[in-house]
Amino acid sequence: MNQSPLVEMIDIEKHFGGVRAVEKVSIDLYPGEVVGVLGHNGAGKSCLMKILAGAMQPNGGEIRVGGRTIEFQEPNDARAVGIETIYQTLALADHLDAPANLFLGRELKTRFGNLDEPRMLEAARKVLARLNPNFTNLRDPVSSLSGGQRQVIAIARAIYFDTKILIMDEPTAALGPSETKMVADLTLKLRDEGLGILLVSHDMHDVFDLCDRVVVMNKGRVVGSHAIDEVTKDDVLSLIIKGELPADWSARNLLERAE
């Protein structure tokens, strides 16, 4: 991995009154890799993701994209440099339909500045069909769709535009087995296309299948950052729960390297 990083987060901090949600967290992300972000509920994962997405402003630290320091004032600033996010809450407007949600905030317009509904509908039909061939009820309000369909819209919105960095905050939480498989395949495909992907997940199985590296957070701090082949599931669980690796880890790892 001798390329330069897509994004560097350096000493990021976020406080809410006395709550230290994120404390001096640094994470790099390179093109063509999937980095798993793990940790208990409340560890600060979503806050960190929102900061990188421009949806939350940090109290301290620095974000570099392509080597250049950038301050995100709002989500559009992050999108402008190719950072797209699938939020844990999906962030869909319930009363609007799938095309309206897909293009929310960056609507396609006609020459006269009117909303170009036919073009948005057509584009939505295409991208949604690629993710889920059974997605036909495009004109229904998204509130009436299944959890899986809603998730598909949120995913489509994050990959439709010119994405370089994809943040996925628990993208399979609302999905059944076949849709989870679809997201996994998609993740690997996008990685192979050269995207950098941050995957927040609780599913150890997914993490070990998809990620090249794991970063574990505990109480707002990074307690471990490892290539996936130097840790076991038990090691990661220990990091999540106790905030440290098992005592025998370095010995085991040295042995493996020696072999």
Partner 1 sequence: MPEAWRITRIGGRAGLPDAQASFLYMQRLSAILTLFLLILGFSLASPHFLSVNNTLTVLLQTSVIGLLGIGLTMVIITGGIDLSVGSVLALSGVMSALAVRSGIPVVPAMSVGVLTGAACGGFNGIVITKLRIPPFVATLGMMLIARGLALQITGAAPISGLGRAFGQLGNGALFRITETQPNGFPTVIFPGIPYPAILLLIVAIGAAYLLRRRQIGRHIYATGSNEEAARLSGVRTDRTKLYAYTMSGALAGLSGNVLMSRLVTAQPSEGVMYELDAIAAAVIGGASLSGGVGTISGTMIGAFIIGILRNGLNMSGVSAFIQQIVIGFVVIGAVWIDQMRNRN
Ligand X SMILES: Nc1ncnc2c1ncn2[C@@H]1O[C@H](COP(=O)(O)OP(=O)(O)O)[C@@H](O)[C@H]1O
- Which residues would be at the binding site for partner 1 (CB under 8 A)? 53, 55, 74-76, 79, 85, 87, 89-97, 99-101, 104-107, 109, 113-115, 117, 139-142, 144, 157
CB of 209 closer than 8 Å to CB of 238:
no
CB of 246 to ligand X, least distance (A): 23
Cβ count within 10 A of residue 105: 10
**Strand, coil or helix: 65:** strand
Backbone dihedral region for residue 242 (phi beyond 0: left; psi -120 to 50: alpha; all else: beta) = alpha
Cα torsion angle, 75, 92, 139, 124, sign:
positive
Question: With CB cut-offs between 5 and 8 Å by kind, which of partner 1, Mg ion, ligand X, none does residue 42 bind?
Answer: ligand X
Q: Which of 7, 29, 35, 43 binds ligand X (CB under 6 A)?
A: 43
In this structure, is the dihedral angle defined by the CA atoms of residues 65, 68, 71 and 76, taken in order, positive or negative? Answer: negative
- As measured in angstroms, the least distance from the Cβ of 196 to ligand X is 20
Residues 5, 44, 54, 171: which binds ligand X (CB under 6 A)?
44
How would you label 166-188 residue by residue, b for 16+ Cβ within 10 Å and e otherwise? bbbbbbbebbeeebbebbbebbe
Provide, rounded to whole angstroms, the least separation between the CB of residue 45 and Mg ion.
5
Q: Which is nearer to partner 1, 87 or 249 (CB)?
A: 87
Min CB(25)–Mg ion separation in Å: 14
43 binds, among Mg ion, ligand X, partner 1, none (CB under 5 to 8 A by kind): ligand X
Determine, following the binding rule CB under 5 A, whether residue 201 of this chain makes contact with Mg ion: no
How many residues touch ligand X under the rule CB under 6 A: the total is 11
Q: How far is the CB of 259 from ligand X (least distance, A)?
A: 36
List the one residue from 5, 36, 39, 171 that touches ligand X (CB under 6 A).
Answer: 39
Stretch that binds Mg ion, among 42-50, 89-97, 160-168, 184-192 (CB under 5 A): 42-50
**Contact partner, 188, from ligand X, Mg ion, partner 1, none, Cβ < 5-8 Å per class:** none
Q: Based on CB atoms, which residue is closest to partner 1, 55 or 237?
A: 55
Q: Give the chain's length.
A: 259
Amino acid of residue 141: P
Fill in the amino acid letter for 113.
Answer: G
Judged by beta carbon, residue 97 or residue 235, the one nearer partner 1 is 97
Contacts 24+ apart (CB under 8 A), 179-185: 179/132, 179/148, 179/151, 179/152, 180/206, 182/131, 182/132, 183/151, 183/155, 184/209, 184/210
CB 103 within 8 A of CB 78: no
- Minimum Å gap between C-beta 119 and partner 1 is 12
Residues numbered 43 to 62 that lie near Mg ion (CB under 5 A) are 46
Query: d(Cα 74, Cα 69) in Å, to the nearest integer?
Result: 15
46 part of the interface to ligand X, by CB under 6 A: yes
Provide the binding-site residues for Mg ion, judged by CB under 5 A. Answer: 46, 88
